A and B are shown apart, each in its own frame.
Chain A
Amino acid sequence: MQLEQQLRDRLEKRDILLMTHIVLGYPSFDTNREVIRQMVENGVDCIEMQIPFSEPMADGPVIVRANQEAIKNGTKVADCLSFAAEMTASHNIPFLFMTYYNIIFKYGEEAFFEKARGCGIKGFIVPDLPPEEGESFLQLAAEYEIAPILIFAPTSTDERMRVLASKAQGFIYCVARRGVTGVKSVIGEEVLEYLGRCRQATSLPLAVGFGIQDRDDVSALIGKADMAVIGSQTIRLVDEKGAGAVGPFIAGLR
């Protein structure tokens, strides 16, 4: 309930929330620190921090490269956990972990939940863990009060969405289209109809991600969803113009 309530409180003042994404250790934890500071100062409502994995199956080229570079730079899971603890202590917005299941599995599911709670993490997004394979994960999520954020896709049937919604907490991550991260989505009739189906299936807040890149994309979602997710775009921005460009970019989104 914690994460959902935090988001609902923020929705009192905003017609749409912003969630951003960073890959931990890319290009460095120092840059991560600066980027997060700028994001928070410019009104970001929630941040998903990706713990890098060598096989990021659901990600597109920008995030794949960031994962590889982060690992090559020597980023360890332990570093990600202590950095997370530092961020949650410094900034008053909810932070989530996004990663692939092997990182959690290898650490030990329960140990990971315990550690993440200690770090002040509010939710997990694990794109390769469907609820069918996540029985113990979902149980631990309830026990440790960390929201398991599940994913809707345009290919999910209404019935499937209801099953997912019954197991999710915090919010639902609605993938805007088929494909991987980082390719621009057109928020057209098809997406809006799909978001209508998502809304029907759950009372949880809806976040929309995959290819949300600019102010027009964000405003197109107002009234249709509760939170826009900016992922690859800020990584691209930091690559091209440095961390300093993030603040103005975020400020210009709403």
Chain B
Amino acid sequence: MDKQGFFGKWGGAYIPEVLHQTFQELNAEFTKCKNDPAFWQEYVELMSTYSCRPTPLTHAENLSRHFGGAQIYIKREDLNHTGAHKANNVMGQGLLVKRMGKKRVIAETGAGQHGMATATMAAKFGLACTIYMGEEDVRRQRPNVFWMEKMGATVVPVTNGSRTLKDAINEAFRDWVTNVDETHYVFGTVCGPHPFPEMVAWFQSIIGLEVAEQIIRYHGKMPARIFACVGGGSNAMGIFKRFIPESNVELVGVEAGGHGIATGLHAARLSGTDASPGVAQGYKTMFLQDDDGQMQETHSVAAGLDYVGVSPILSYLWEKGRVRFEAATDTEVMAALDLTMKKEGIIPALESSHAFVQAFKEAPQLTPDDAIIINMSGRGDKDIFTIAHAFNDPSWKDFIIKRGLEYSQGK
């Protein structure tokens, strides 16, 4: 990091004055935690008793054989409590909230996994909880809304703007500036104003720390490449961070190609040429925006990747050439998901499936002596409505129609 909170020219803390004091306190507390080995111990202990850390690294033997190239390994973040890597960041910030003595947490959520994890943490730590979620995402991710509400959180559908993740972030900030004294904003990804990018990357780095040990144990050497999907970039930073100094390990971020980059309906910030430097949502990064600086609509089948900005740390690593960025289209994602279920009996989330697409493209270029690792950031069960719809599954449709009929008849 250069100037406080900057990674090269990216990052910073572009925040309204009303939040200045709270950020001073947050920065001070985070610095204390970072320098206290006992805090990290407490965090690891919590993640191994309340979640399932360390999560397994699965050797996907059938997929490896199918592609006939590199050995494919899958880091199973889906086996975390609540089904995604989001729990890592949330439980870490939960420990911070306890130290700061705040009584209420708020969060934005896209796919709903971060909201789920935050609602869980709030229940466990006895905090009031409000989750902001774009109306469009509420519709796409109904099962997660159900669970958040059941755990006692209030879910507020956001009807401003494009009604997706960025709008949920704006709304969460509006809540925060209003209730700043008692409330902590559990930012869900490695974006937003400093110290969030650094803090979230720090909590998520537990993924890569485990992987580095596991791959040596199973494969005897470092992997050739690591693939991770990139929305805001928290699972990617989580698995990449440990490997940044390992210059022989190629790091690949996979963004949402949506209907294809040429159509303009995508969320490819760093893999395409549509994004440009900007400042919004509290930080400076590459945004999908027009010539006036107005943010543009994005599209992805995966709600969690449907975002206009990207981590300032990833913009920095992209600029330095340390991380390569690619995009996967909605259609490619469905095919990779289908193949993974059939070959391995594993159901990746639509977000994570983007990483699988690129890994499958590149596995045949390598030899069986090489290992590649896919970060499976979350499980796909949450996407059952979207996936069943995309597969146009007749028996699922029949079930929904019948259940709908029963409900409409008051049964």
Contacts and interface: CB of A to CB of B under 8 A. Distances in A.
A54 interface: yes
Contact of B295 (A55, A133, A151, A157): A55
A149 to B, nearest CB: 12
Given A53-B294, A55-B166, A153 B18 contact: yes
B17 A152 contact: yes
Nearest to A131: B17
B9 to A, nearest CB: 12
Interface string B1-43: 0001000000011111111111000000000000000000000
A160 B21 contact: yes
B261 interface: no
Contacts of B287: 102
B21 A64 contact: no
B281 A57 contact: yes
Contacts of A31: none
Nearest to A210: B18
B279 A155 contact: no
B282 interface: yes
Contacts of B295: 54-55
B17 A153 contact: yes
Contacts of B160: 64-65, 68
B180 A107 contact: no
Contacts of A60: 174
Given A100-B280, A101-B279, A156-B21, A57 B294 contact: no
A107 B276 CA distance: 12
Tell me what chain B mostly uses at the interface: helix, strand, loop, or mixed: mixed
A55 B281 contact: yes
A155 B20 contact: yes
B291 interface: yes
Nearest to A78: B292
B20 to A, nearest CB: 6
Contacts of A119: none
A60 B276 CA distance: 28
B173 A57 contact: yes
A116 to B, nearest CB: 15
A128 B15 contact: yes
Contacts of A155: 17-22, 180-181
A179 B293 contact: no
Nearest to B297: A54
Given A57-B16, A180-B174, A106 B291 contact: yes
Tell me what chain A mostly uses at the interface: helix, strand, loop, or mixed: loop
A153 B293 contact: no
A102 B279 contact: yes
B170 interface: yes
Contact of B15 (A65, A130, A156, A160): A130
Contacts of A132: 4, 13
A86 B349 CA distance: 54
A103 B20 CA distance: 22
A129 B287 CA distance: 18
B264 to A, nearest CB: 16
B17 to A, nearest CB: 4
B100 to A, nearest CB: 15
B104 to A, nearest CB: 14
A55 B161 contact: yes
Interface in A75-102: 76-77, 100-102
Contacts of A180: 174, 177-178
A43 interface: no
Contacts of A178: 18, 177-181
A153 B294 CA distance: 27
Contacts of A156: 17, 20-21
Contacts of B170: 55-57
Interface in A138-154: 150-154
A55 B292 CA distance: 13
A179 B177 CA distance: 5
Contacts of B12: 133
A164 B17 contact: yes
Contacts of B21: 155-157, 160
Contacts of B272: none
A33 B344 CA distance: 65
Interface of B: 4, 12-22, 160-161, 166, 170, 173-174, 177-181, 276-282, 287, 289, 291-295
9 contacts: A101-B14, A127-B17, A128-B14, A128-B282, A132-B4, A133-B13, A153-B18, A178-B177, A178-B179
Cβ-closest 3 pairs across A and B: A106-B293, A153-B18, A179-B178
Given A155-B19, A175-B18, 5 more contacts: A68-B161, A100-B280, A106-B291, A107-B292, A153-B18
